[in-house]
Amino acid sequence: MLFDLHVHSKHSSDSPSPVGLILNTARRRGLAGIAIADHNTLAGSMEAWEKNKDPDFYVIPAAEYATDQGHILAFFLQEELQGLKERDGLYFWQEVVAAIHEQGGLAFIAHPFKLRRPHAPEIWQHLDGVEIFNARAANAGNRWANEEAAQTAARYGLGKSAGSDAHWPPEIGRAVLDLPGQPGQTSLEEIKAALAAGRGEARGSLTNPLLEPAGQLLKAIRIRDLGRLPRIVAKALYLGATSFGRREEK
């Protein structure tokens, strides 16, 4: 069964995607399920849960929290995380992981090597898994980001996830995790156990690098922070030039 375990909806400020369109697109592309993991909110997943009427299609409740040790994907949440403290717009990773576990959820670190920043050594002992393939991760400058993530999951015996990190509908299904089971017959608890045990196989390809600054532009407009525009344009030019250079190498 193919799952895209990292999708954003209009409930994230840098995505325009309606939840209904995400569901229809995912089914049309042959996915067995998705995790809509909006930034710091469960709202997209809850809307998807209510709208999904297909008994053979799975919606995994999820959210993506920005922490002082990177982004953490929370799978199988029951409600929004409460009482989290933050500093400079980031939550403390220990509190996020503990709150996820209190609900019986799974805590996976998203695209951990997208940016070349060190992680607290103890974090790997508290996580349930690692996103080992993210369709956007290698576009940020570290072309080995996904390989490093897979190696880290193996080194610490952690679960594995994969996702497109889609902010725009064309990205959905770009990266998937193939989990054992039969749609409509396998329970969510069985899917959760397989995900935590690392029984899935990740596959996919990188998305167009220009879609990321496009989302940042959308966010700047939505929150009316136009002072960010020069930085966004510079990033788009850099990513465009880098992408062209890679095509020339082939």
pLDDT in tens, 179-206: 999 999 999 999 999 999 999 999 999 9
6: nearest Cα among 149, 151, 155: 149
Q: How confident is the model at residue 248 (pLDDT cuts 50, 70, 90)?
A: very low
The CA radius of gyration of the chain, in Å to the nearest whole number, is 17
Token pair 């390809």 in the structure block, residue: 205
Task: Tell me the backbone φ, ψ of residue 74, rounded to 5 degrees.
Answer: -110, 115
DSSP H or E segment with residue 127: none
H helix runs in 109-228, sequence order:
145-156, 188-197, 211-222
Q: Examine the pLDDT at 249 and tell me if it is beyond 50.
A: no
Task: Tell me the backbone φ, ψ of residue 32, rounded to 5 degrees.
Answer: -90, -20
How many Å apart are CA 71 and CA 169, to the nearest integer?
22
4: nearest Cα among 62, 69, 80: 62
Q: Strand, helix or coil at 4?
A: strand
pLDDT at position 69: 96
DSSP H or E segment with residue 58: strand 58-59
5: nearest Cα among 179, 209, 156, 150: 179
How many Å apart are CA 66 and CA 88, to the nearest integer?
11
**Model's pTM, two decimal places?**
0.90
Model pLDDT for residues 137-174, shown as the tens digit of each residue: 988 778 899 999 999 999 999 999 999 999 999 999 99
Q: List, in sequence order, every residue forming a beta bridge with 4; answer none if it has no partner.
A: 34
Model pLDDT for residues 19-54, shown as the tens digit of each residue: 999 999 999 999 999 999 999 999 999 999 999 999
Please, what is the Cα angle at 74 between 70 and 75, to 5 degrees?
145
Strand spans (E) along 101-178: 106-109, 129-134, 159-163, 175-178
Under 8 Å between Cβ of 94 and 63: no
With 0-12 / 13-18 / 19 or more C-beta atoms within 10 angstroms meaning exposed / middle / buried, residue 38 is buried
pLDDT at position 209: 79
